Chains A and B, each alone.
Chain A
Amino acid sequence: MTKASSKRATPPPGDAADFVQLLTPDGERVSHPDYSVDFNDDELRGLYRDLVTVRKLDAEATALQRQGELGIWASLLGQEAAQVGSGRALREQDMAFPTYREHGVLYCRGIDPIMPLGLFRGVDQGGWDPIANKFGIYTIVIGAQTLHATGYAMGIAKDGKVGTDEGEAVIAYFGDGATSQGDVNEAFIFASVYNSPIVFFCQNNQYAISEPLTRQTRVPLYQRASGFGFPGVRVDGNDVLATYAVTRAALDNARHGNGPTLVEAYTYRMGAHTTSDDPTRYRVAGEIEEWQAKDPISRVRKLLERENLADAAFFTEVDAQAKVEAVELRERVLALPDPDPSEMFKHVYPHGSPEVDEQAATFAAYHASFEGAQH
């Protein structure tokens, strides 16, 4: 991926830089005084492929849930650009702390999309190595990960790994609802007073389950940052180019030792909160249609078509390839084995515990007694 403009994402509070957009819903490129991207044609096509693939894999997971193969699924539908744009903006050395919905970021990190599926199937609770993957364990308790991200960023600064192009940065994902949590506000404070290399990336998808944004805030969320002493910027979260540019600039700003930024990616959750949710109970009429017109994928397609960067064969091939990946994902989900019950006693403590070990032994003996009885 190419570099975005590394101009600082520091619009003073209340400045005109209210809403950064580089690609309109009609697929027209627009310029912005502070942000730009210089993707080549291949890279633009690559972004389109990412968006389509991420949506396809997500749809497959929704289908798997409907068929009883997953216990629940938190769909990212509608938020593809926010996730692909920010995910691709991360550099190799950067660390991400996700919620439970960042499947698109995970994909862009080059991580196997099967990785979080065990959690949703109910066979594990994540189980991946957050350090090795540079991608934290999915966090369901709203907002908690923003503090972990901040502490990790504090550690980067302590290690002296800021101040150069090779510096490290952290990105913390959270939703609009999460901004009400004490943890998130505390994370802002810690990051601010320690000038930590972190980007707070809020996907404002307009809802926290059924509650609209007005239940969480009276001011645009990005403006909160100024009260904490660092810049905030609102980007069109359905615009992959703008999201990339803004996130890249904020991350580079952080890695160079200039402290935190709050990025508010203004987007919309097109699907249900999770497969357990019934959005017909709270959606406002016309909303879906309004956001449909701002779809993150179709605007990139329009751009590619307008600028003759891709032909029909390309689009067909992208769809076909995404389908191949989805089918493969499905097969691998179906093959995920149920864990052995003894797993539950493992990893409670790094060096075990005589009490838990004893319970594991009793558990095994109890189950063995049934097997004996059957013969």
Chain B
Amino acid sequence: MGETLTLGKALNLGLRRAMEDDSKVILMGEDIGKLGGVFRITDGLQKDFGDERVIDTPLAESGIVGTAIGLALRGYRPVVEIQFDGFVYPAYDQIVCQVAKMHFRSRGKVRLPMVIRIPFGGGIGAVEHHSESPEAYFSHTAGLKVVACSNPSDAYWMIQQAIASDDPIIFLEPKRRYWEKGEVDTAEELSVQEPLHSSKVVRPGTDVTVLAYGPMVRTALDAANAAAEDGRSLEVIDLRSMSPLDMGPVYASAKRTGRVVVVHEAAGNLGMGSELAARITEECFYSLEAPVLRVTGYDTPYPASRLEEEYLPDLDRVLDAVDRSFGW
């Protein structure tokens, strides 16, 4: 039976279910207890699971991630909340040098089954450091897996899969979509869900392949609707996993359409789009009618909020790229 949930509530229920299923799952972060997190993603969980399992930490991100490593070594499955994307950087050293490499350095003797949840991306009119898209930094780091959910159903299942995974996972949550609603069939089993690191065609089409993840999936779908009115059929793929990338469905689609547009909020330079374009070119060169085009944030710091609509890819910029692809 489906339930209509916001993406935020779906995450909350997913966390709850993971905590019910495994007593080793603990949550750590700033303001996640009484307050339920600044986005209320952990709302009610401390009340129900106690402050030994839902832990308000000191205000220190390196400390949060570093101690989560120790707890993981001790057999816990920590789920860390970073309050905003821009505040993950104090923990960057722990994530890149320690979280990512512990398994490798121990030659496989220890695993770090931890999840680092990060509300990411812009579009909420926030002040600086609250609208960053850091996915490429982490995807560039071997040993980490990086995923982003885009809708309530995926949010509900992917958070549980991430917690169940033996890998350390950077779990990116599209903060501006927290309040968007969708159907979630909470009665299903976790084991029957499609794998965490799989990409998914979320709208079939024939003319152009549009690749997106996280907050930009909605934008890509809106663009597909608009393009349909002009008689153009866009196929939208939700990548879901930035690392590893699941390229199978992407190659299949690119070979059919011959045209690919990648959309992300993060700056273009060395962003996910760069890697996607390279791989698609290597694999689908003879099928392509146009170069892979990128619609991204600009190579500037994220601007003041009154300019963010100019900075962020929107429906028009996606359609413009589609036009350019056809104009090639």
Q: Which residues of A contact B (CB under 8 A)?
A: 71-72, 118-125, 140-142, 177-178, 180-183, 208-211, 215-216, 276-278, 281-282, 338-339, 341, 343-345, 348, 355-356, 359, 363, 366, 370
Contact = CB atoms under 8 A, between A and B. Distances in A.
A180 B299 contact: no
A140 B33 contact: no
Interface of B: 30-31, 33-36, 38, 56-60, 62-63, 86-87, 89-90, 125-129, 269, 298-301, 303-307, 310-311, 316-317, 320
Contacts of B128: 119, 125, 140
A122 B306 contact: yes
List the 9 closest A-B pairs by CB distance, nearest first. Answer: A122-B305, A210-B35, A180-B58, A177-B59, A344-B303, A341-B310, A180-B60, A122-B306, A180-B59
A71 B63 CA distance: 30
B38 A211 contact: no
A2 B300 CA distance: 47
A359 B307 CA distance: 16
A71 B305 contact: yes
A345 B303 CA distance: 9
Given A71-B126, A140-B86, 17 more contacts: A122-B304, A122-B305, A123-B304, A141-B129, A208-B59, A210-B56, A211-B30, A211-B33, A215-B57, A215-B58, A341-B307, A345-B300, A348-B299, A355-B299, A356-B298, A359-B300, A366-B317
A281 B63 contact: no
Residue among B57, B89, B307 with most chain A CB within 10 A:
B307
Contact of A125 (B56, B269, B304): B304
Contacts of A123: 304, 306
A356 B299 contact: yes
A320 B86 CA distance: 42
Contacts of B58: 177, 180, 215-216
B interface, by DSSP: helix, strand, loop or mixed? loop
Contacts of A72: 126-127
26 contacts: A121-B306, A122-B127, A122-B304, A122-B305, A123-B306, A125-B127, A141-B87, A178-B59, A180-B63, A181-B60, A182-B62, A182-B90, A208-B30, A208-B31, A210-B31, A211-B30, A211-B31, A215-B56, A277-B38, A339-B304, A339-B307, A344-B298, A344-B307, A344-B311, A355-B269, A355-B299
A142 B59 contact: yes
B176 to A, nearest CB: 14
Nearest to B62: A182
A122 B125 contact: yes
Nearest to B307: A344
A183 B90 contact: yes
A339 B148 CA distance: 32
A177 B87 CA distance: 14
Contacts of B90: 141, 181-183
Nearest to B130: A140
A29 to B, nearest CB: 36
A273 B269 CA distance: 36
Contacts of A277: 38
B306 A209 contact: no
A281 B90 CA distance: 28
B63 to A, nearest CB: 7
A71 B301 contact: no
A88 to B, nearest CB: 28
A123 to B, nearest CB: 5
A288 B65 CA distance: 34
A120 B320 CA distance: 33
Contacts of A363: 298, 310
A182 B306 contact: no
